[in-house]
Amino acid sequence: METLTGVTELIEIKNGSIVSPLGFSTGAAEAAIKYPKKDIGMIVSDVPASSAAVYTQSHFQAPPLIVTQESIGQEGLLQAVVVNSGCANACTGNKGLQDAYEMRKLTSEKLAVSEHLVAVASTGVIGVYLPMEKISNGIQKVELGYQEENAADFQTAILTTDTCMKSCGYSMKIDGKTVKMGGAAKGSGMIHPNMATMLGFVTTDAHISSEHLHQALRQVTDNTFNQITVDGDTSTNDMVLVMANGKAGNELLTPSHPEWEGFVELLKKTCESLAKQIAKDGEGATKLVEVEVAGAFNNSDARKIAKQIVGSNLVKTALYGADANWGRIIGAIGQVDDAKVDPNNVSVSIGPIKMLENSNPLSFIEEEAVEYLQKDFVKIFVDLHIGDGKGVAWGCDLSYDYIKINASYRT
């Protein structure tokens, strides 16, 4: 384990995953929904777990999300999540809703738990009905376990155009007890969450109520998942779901608990890690891009501007071409009409190279800038010189391969 710098003494768990916390098992099976791979996965808690989720803000919210909201809404508890890839079950009308309910029912029967303790998620092509016979057979074939290979099976099952699995795990002491948290996610294209085909699952053995877990999740989402963008498009199926089963044995966490902020930081670190992994794996991407904005009027302005920069197609294409065209960064800042900007006092750096200081251009060595921009991690820093607001956003460059992938996604 490696100690992370910063507050609360967070410890990164080597090969951390959704089975790192106590009392969580997972597994997957191949249902042959679209691709020849595992495509049905489950996460199961040994006991009913306090649960919370955030969902896409798309008007076309998919049936699985409606079913999941209903499940959590009954008692704030979940014991299982069932996920399929290959078909989003979105824009499928009443049949799609009934199919999502059927997925919940089949999973509850397999696990012998109440239906309202099961959440449902789907990802893949929009406007296609679920092949329910395949789904049913796949659910029955899922074998659960508590090992890393079981977590890897689940992570494989949720992937679509992703090129890699995305997972993490961290721990910290609360009330003298070791509390662990693990995460798994999928997402590569259609990523522009306000709360994309993005799904995130977080497990923890912390003892916390559903109400306060939801409060913590809402608090960290704006600074993590909502600060990534790949292509500016939001999907119908976005969801981030957290389950907390209390197996660690700490005292009940509330905002008045002396280590509440530590728990929030643990959740933030987990969500940030997953969010950055999604941004790095953007369809056709060659590099992870981080934009940090300081000196804004407030944090909200800083976050908006950072996301505008990292989401600009002109900025993204310049980064792909290793072109240090800082004018595109200025152009992106200028488009944020609901944030305060003093055009006469802005500073911009790409990596260690200062290019604009107090709105005055600086000379720099082009070859050094090109060399930096050819790396697989690029950082852009902007200082607005107005206030104390800070914000960070993550994204990727835009390559020819993005068009190739999305031109034939359905076929």
CATH code reported for the domain at 2-275 = 3.60.70.12
Rounded Cα distance between 200 and 39, Å, is 16
pLDDT at 114: 98
CB 183 within 8 A of CB 273: yes
pLDDT at 24 over 90: yes
Q: How far apart are CA 163 and CA 165, in angstroms?
A: 7
The predicted model scores a pTM of 0.79
pLDDT at 45 over 90: yes
Among the listed residues 197, 203, 221, 270, the single catalytic one is 197
pLDDT at 11 over 50: yes
User: Mean pLDDT of all residues in the chain?
Assistant: 90
Q: Write out the residue limits of the CATH 3.10.20.340 domain(s) in the chain.
A: 288-407
List, in sequence order, every beta strand (DSSP E) within 154-286: 166-174, 177-186, 199-204, 239-244
**From residue 130, how far is each of 60, 111, 119, 156, 323 by CA, in Å?**
17, 21, 17, 19, 45
Q: SS3 for 297?
A: coil
Minimum mean pLDDT range among 142-156, 190-204, 252-266, 334-348 = 190-204
pLDDT at 332: 92
Q: Which amino acid is at 194?
A: N
Mean predicted confidence (pLDDT) in 362-370 = 95
Q: Which pLDDT score, from 0 to 100, does residue 282 have?
A: 64
For residue 330, is pLDDT > 80? yes
The whole-angstrom separation of Cα 48 and Cα 76 is: 10
pLDDT digits (tens, 9 = 90+) for 170-196: 999 999 999 999 999 987 544 444 434
> Would the CA dihedral through 191, 195, 201, 203 be positive or negative?
positive
Q: Which DSSP string corresponds to 94-158?
A: HHHHHHHHHHHHHHHHHHT--GGGEEEEEEEETT----HHHHHHHHHH---BSSHHHHHHHHHHT
Residues of the chain with CATH 3.60.70.12: 2-275
Q: What is the pLDDT of residue 60?
A: 85
Instruction: Look up residue 286 and give its two tokens.
Output: 């060659």
Q: Does residue 411 surpass a pLDDT of 60?
A: no
Q: Is 197 a catalytic residue?
A: yes
Residue type, 1: M
The encoded tokens of residue 106 equal 């089949």
The pLDDT value given to residue 57: 77
Rounded (5°) CA angle 167-53-67:
110
Q: What is the pLDDT of residues 373-385, one digit of tens each?
A: 999 899 999 999 9
pLDDT confidence of residue 405: 60
Q: 30 near 39, Cβ under 8 Å?
A: yes
**Fold entry, domain 288-407:** Ubiquitin-like (UB roll) (3.10.20)
Q: What is the pLDDT of residue 276?
A: 85
